[in-house]
Amino acid sequence: MLKVEIDPGSGFCGGVIRAITRAESYLAGEDRLYSLGAIVHNEAELSRLKQKGLVTAGSLEEVPRGGTVLIRAHGEPPATYKEASLRQLKLIDCSCPVVLQLQKSIREAYARLHSEGRHGQVIIFGRVGHAEVLGLVGQVDGDAVVVENARMLEEVMASLDFSQPMEIFSQTTKSPTEYEEICKLLRSRGARLTVHNTICAQVASRHEKLSAFAAAHDVILFVSGKSSSNGKVLSDLCRGANPRTYLVGSAAELDPSWFREGESVGVCGATSTPKWLLEQVAEAVSALK
């Protein structure tokens, strides 16, 4: 018989909980609500919310004039709010407070770096094209360098002006260890660098605990949507602590050959993975013969 434990720290982060709660509250009295982009990067949860009337819109052009749009926790650039106003759309703004503070910090840094004739550089450590990163870059009209990893930083290094000051920020859900490596690399090239600690505290604190959870079990099932940036970071973290880590989107993807009689199985997930899905996977493992 397999011993199964669900990681107590896994499940939605506060920003996602807030956005989904507000969406469900609105849909309790209305037939339809448009989310600008996926409200959460988890296919199973999106399917559940779709049945309640949540429609994922790829752009504001897909929303009927006068409709109601939910701004998800990732946040949006200023241009989105201007367009929504022009199209007479009503907004339910669920931008995460941590992301809003980060957007404000980037605007302030840009103003500092371009005061008194200076031409400093804002650098963002994050996934190119990610919704949160697009919102961050939009705060400075696109005048920021985005790097996903050390290799990408090496590629853009020649275009950076090291005679000018630089300020670096991280996407809120990135790895603290990788962020530290990026900052060290810039400083090794002589950058006059100001580092801002902008990784969400809830996310950062999970890394050490999740690594310990992964190491404490024979097998780890990491439950996450395929498009979750946080899921990629955390599943890689688990795999580093436990090579027998399997990434699954649902209980349907379980393979009995992964397990041996009497082993302990840990079930965990991304900040975009709902608790109910973790519980479904755990129950399915427990039912394996």
Catalytically annotated residues? 132
Residue 283's closest CA among 213, 223, 209, 211? Answer: 223
Burial 142-176 (b: 16+ CB within 10 A, else e): eebbbbbeeeebeeeeeebeeeebbbbbbbbbbbb
CA angle 39, 209, 125 (to 5 degrees): 55
User: What does R_g of the chain's alpha carbons equal in angstroms?
Assistant: 21
Instruction: Give the span between the Cα atoms of 142 and 267, in whole angstroms.
Output: 39
Q: What does the longest C-alpha to C-alpha distance in the chain come to?
A: 71
Residue 94's closest CA among 66, 69, 128? Answer: 69
CB 69 within 8 A of CB 39: no
For tokens 């519980």, what's the residue?
Answer: 279
Query: Within 10 A of 180 (CB to CB), how many other CB atoms are there?
Result: 12
